[in-house]
Chain A
Amino acid sequence: MDLAVEMREITKVFKKVAANDKVNFNLKKGSIHGLLGENGAGKTTLMNCLYGLYQPESGKIFINGKNVRIDSPQKAMSLGVGMVHQHFMLVRPMTVVENIMLGLSSKRGPFLDTDRVERELLALSKRFNLNLEPKAKIWQLSVGEQQRVEILSALYRGAEILILDEPTAVLTPNEAQELFGILRMMRNDGKSVILISHKLEEILAIVDEVTVLRDGRLVGQAQVTAETTKRDLTSMMVGRDVLFNFKHETLKTGATKLMVNHLGARNDKGLPALKEVSFSISAGEILGFAGVDGNGQKELCEVLTGLRPTTSGEICLNGKELNRSSPKTFINEGIAHIPEDRHKTGLAMNMGIARNLILKNFSQSGFSSRGLLNFRAIKKNAERLMEEYAIKANGVHTKVKDLSGGNQQKVILARELSSKPEIIIANQPTRGLDIGATEYVRQKLLEESAKGAGVLLISADLEEILQLSDRIAVLYDGQIMGILGRNASVEEIGLLMAGVRTEEVEVC
């Protein structure tokens, strides 16, 4: 079988972390190939290497059997490789034709060739059923149509190999079906398509072959046949080798601390993101939330910290109802939060460590008196916490942006845990950290639960969930599919993650 693309042993390193580690990737001509993996598995990095945005440290790329060096997107396009990014690169006030003509040279010398291009685009659009009006302005188009403009643009530039990065993330289900129709037509036309995704249904619905990445490494490549199940793919995606071993004693859990009943909330687009979510956390317990990213984890965290309003249900902490309270109240009542995005949410990157350590309590009596900050106390606090949490930095005023990811996360841990929280909400607390820091964070969470705090742990890393949790809840499409005991198997969890509810799964 002819290969359109062959990537051999691609390695790409960022800041000493390998985003791709000797990854092999083969794309057959005239097929749709799924590139599957969790967030941060290295899918986009690999494709950016193919599209010339990144240069791999080592490895070879063959296109149509020829060894090539792709050092720019221009070069990639000349080789017939086109890419549609997650974020469209279109000029909104301009028309479809104008956008597509950008950067192309005109055949009529200094004059624009709009009419000819328009005719060609119409023909191309008809051929692949893209259904686009070349004269329409971008801002008038729906997101799905804008995506088709990007596809049309790639086709017009002669793309034989089209890379789509999470194309359905922005689409409604109907639009996604339309997109798949277009992709099938392209396949029938002999073109090859690479579909980056972490959604299993999608992969099963449309691709011929799938390559799975995990932690920057290739974990498998397989034909997708009628027999392929979500279960097969899930186990490939999350893997099973155990990285760390923690002594997790079975603790006697205490009284119920956090009660959540029939909680509902909407996402940023106004669509239901949490539906009838109910669970409880006791003192000393770690409740893990497994699930594929984007199934309501972010919204759950925000609701439980007062950052997002609920549409129904109630949140009770130690018997006190908290819904409709301000974020300040949630903090004061003892809910600590290790946010998913430490740069955007958890830290003020341009401020020093000392200031970041008091972000939540700078106005309290220890750190300010009569409205003025007490710099001596702030410095002392920083020195103490930096030692206690082993934060490595030149001094207490080192800007947080100059710290490594692990030390940044330790600053957040120090701030959140030193407040002696009742409940700790940890969303992806080890994402992007090296092994040492990961281990440290997990150890700290265990210590806190041993001290009697309740921990809600959200993680895309199933190993992490299995190692730390006393019970495991699985989120799918904003609902809890089931809450399993700590001895649950990867298979059971995987099925629930894929939205399959079975009879045998015991819900406690």
Chain B
Amino acid sequence: MLKENGIVKGFCHSVLPAVVTIALAFGVSALLLLFSSHSPIEAFSTLLTSAFGSPSRIAEVLIKTAPLMVMALGISVAFKSQVWNIGGDGQFTLGAIFAAFVALNLNLPGFIVLPVSFLAAFLGGALWGGLAGYLRAKFNANEVITTLMLNYVASYLLSWLIRYPMIDPDGHGFPQTSLLAQQYQLPIILSGTRLHVGILIALMIVLLGYLFWRSSLGFRIDLVGENEEAAKYCGINVSKTIILTMVISAGLCGVAGWGEVVGVQYRLLDNISSGYGNLAIVIALLGNLNPFGIAVSSFFFAALLVGGNTMQLMEGIPFSLITVIQGLVIVFVISRVVYTQWRDNVANRHFNRGAR
């Protein structure tokens, strides 16, 4: 995926598939719109202005891009080594809880509390995902099941925390924690909007992700995903690598939760992950598990989310268009994944036959 040779080729490998998939989804949506006698041009231009029509809307898109990008990056680390972490939501929630706990209880200046809460959030997510990784490595427990189940545990844990131990004492019994002090909130980078510094942090994490796949640890994870048997043969401790993979993957999901607490909500409340976890899986696959591909894909999905929310308020354009486009993107992404697997299978079969 990440080629050693040339940025251009790397770009083609990572971003191009995403662009083609998105274009296909829009193309088919346009056909559907035509069949239902709506003007695709009108619909798409409305979508465009809904998402990018004003600075504050662009800001909203970027605010949503950040957590999606970081989470999808986390998911991609696991997927690359064939560990199917679908517990992004739970790990996000744990990250949010840890971050809020630190920010609410550590009475130190912001420049200390923010980094500490960042690390705590990584740790929170990592514990949650590491548990699933440990169960997979030690008992071969299917991580799809464990991470999914841990989502529910996390969600109920959050519900309990914000109703009992962490409830806002002055909140008239409303299930949420008290507001974070101003100095523990991420600084706004575009005045007049809610856009906070989180998007820049997310972009930095993407760059780190690019470096990660060029590191020896990234190579190790890649190898375990490519061929576990060969990895063992090369002296790699596969169990350890799988746990480590889950720790990194889930830790990043936790960091996304940190951003939501200290950058957007400034407190803990129910359903804080708002289903980003599932979107992140689609984004990771749409971006071909490549950091830059993921950056582009998450921006696209964030635009779709924000555009859709705004379109609801307008007349004449079917709001369900957004759901249709999302659905089509998923269909095309899955077709691509299935097609590649099928192609590899055919190639392998051919190969093994020849070797007999």
Interfacial residues, chain A to chain B (CB-CB below 8 A): 14-15, 17, 19, 40, 44-45, 305-307, 326-332, 337, 339, 343-351, 354-355, 359-360, 362-363, 367-368, 371-373, 375, 378-379, 397, 401, 405, 432
Contacts and interface: CB of A to CB of B under 8 A. Distances in A.
Contacts of A379: 4
A347 to B, nearest CB: 6
Contacts of B346: none
B165 to A, nearest CB: 40
Contacts of A44: 356
A165 to B, nearest CB: 13
A307 B238 CA distance: 12
B163 interface: no
B229 A405 contact: no
A329 B237 CA distance: 12
Contacts of A40: 356
A453 B280 CA distance: 52
A19 B353 CA distance: 10
B214 interface: yes
Given A331-B235, A368-B215, A14 B353 contact: yes
B216 A360 contact: no
A20 to B, nearest CB: 11
B230 A45 contact: no
A433 to B, nearest CB: 10
B346 to A, nearest CB: 12
- Closest CB pairs A-B (n = 7): A15-B354, A328-B235, A348-B226, A368-B216, A327-B235, A363-B216, A375-B4
B234 interface: yes
A306 B232 CA distance: 10
B216 A305 contact: no
A351 B227 CA distance: 10
B352 A343 contact: yes
Q: Which of B4, B211, B214 has the most CB of A within 10 A?
A: B4
Interface in B190-229: 211, 214-217, 219-220, 222-223, 226-227, 229
Interface in B334-354: 344, 347-348, 351-354
A45 B352 CA distance: 13
Given A15-B354, A371-B215, 7 more contacts: A14-B353, A45-B356, A306-B235, A373-B219, A375-B4, A375-B214, A405-B354
Contacts of B233: 305, 307, 327, 337, 339, 345-346
A379 B354 CA distance: 30
A348 B348 CA distance: 13
Contact of B232 (A327, A329, A378, A405): A327
Interface in B4-48: 4-5
Contacts of A307: 232-233
A14 B349 CA distance: 12
B4 A345 contact: no
A348 B211 contact: no
B354 A360 contact: no
B226 A351 contact: yes
Contact of A359 (B4, B223, B348): B223
A350 B4 contact: no
B229 A345 contact: yes
A362 B216 contact: yes
Given A326-B235, A359-B223, A397-B3, A373 B356 contact: no
Interface residues of B, number: 31
Nearest to A19: B356
B191 to A, nearest CB: 39
B351 A401 contact: yes
15 contacts: A44-B356, A327-B235, A343-B355, A344-B227, A344-B230, A346-B233, A347-B227, A347-B230, A349-B348, A359-B230, A360-B235, A362-B219, A371-B216, A372-B216, A397-B5
A14 B356 contact: yes
Contacts of B354: 14-15, 17, 405
Q: Is chain A's binding surface mostly helix, strand, loop or mixed?
A: mixed
A379 B5 CA distance: 10
Contacts of B211: 372
A350 B82 CA distance: 14
Interface string B224-256: 001101101111110000000000000000000
A363 to B, nearest CB: 4
A367 B344 CA distance: 30
Contacts of A328: 235-237
A379 B3 CA distance: 12
A362 B218 CA distance: 11
A378 B219 CA distance: 13
Nearest to A15: B354
A373 B230 contact: no
Contact of A345 (B3, B220, B230): B230
Given A368-B215, A371-B216, A350 B226 contact: yes
A372 B215 CA distance: 4
Contact of B214 (A14, A331, A360, A372): A372
Contacts of A330: 235
Contacts of B3: 397
B226 A397 contact: no
B211 to A, nearest CB: 7
Nearest to B350: A15
Contacts of B235: 306, 326-332, 360
A414 B215 CA distance: 23
Given A345-B230, A346-B230, A401-B347, A373 B355 contact: no
A104 to B, nearest CB: 28
A35 to B, nearest CB: 16
Contacts of A432: 355-356
Contacts of A401: 347-348, 351
A327 B230 CA distance: 12
A432 B3 CA distance: 31
A484 B214 CA distance: 51
Contacts of B351: 343, 401
B339 to A, nearest CB: 16
Interface centre among B220, B226, B352 (most CB of A within 10 A): B226
A373 B214 contact: yes
Contact of A344 (B219, B229, B353): B229
A349 B355 CA distance: 14
Contacts of A332: 235
Interface in B75-121: none
Contacts of A15: 354
A373 B215 contact: yes
A114 B124 CA distance: 57
B4 A397 contact: yes
Contacts of B223: 348, 351, 359
A122 to B, nearest CB: 39
Nearest to B218: A373
A89 B188 CA distance: 63
A348 B220 contact: no
Contacts of B356: 14, 19, 40, 44-45, 432
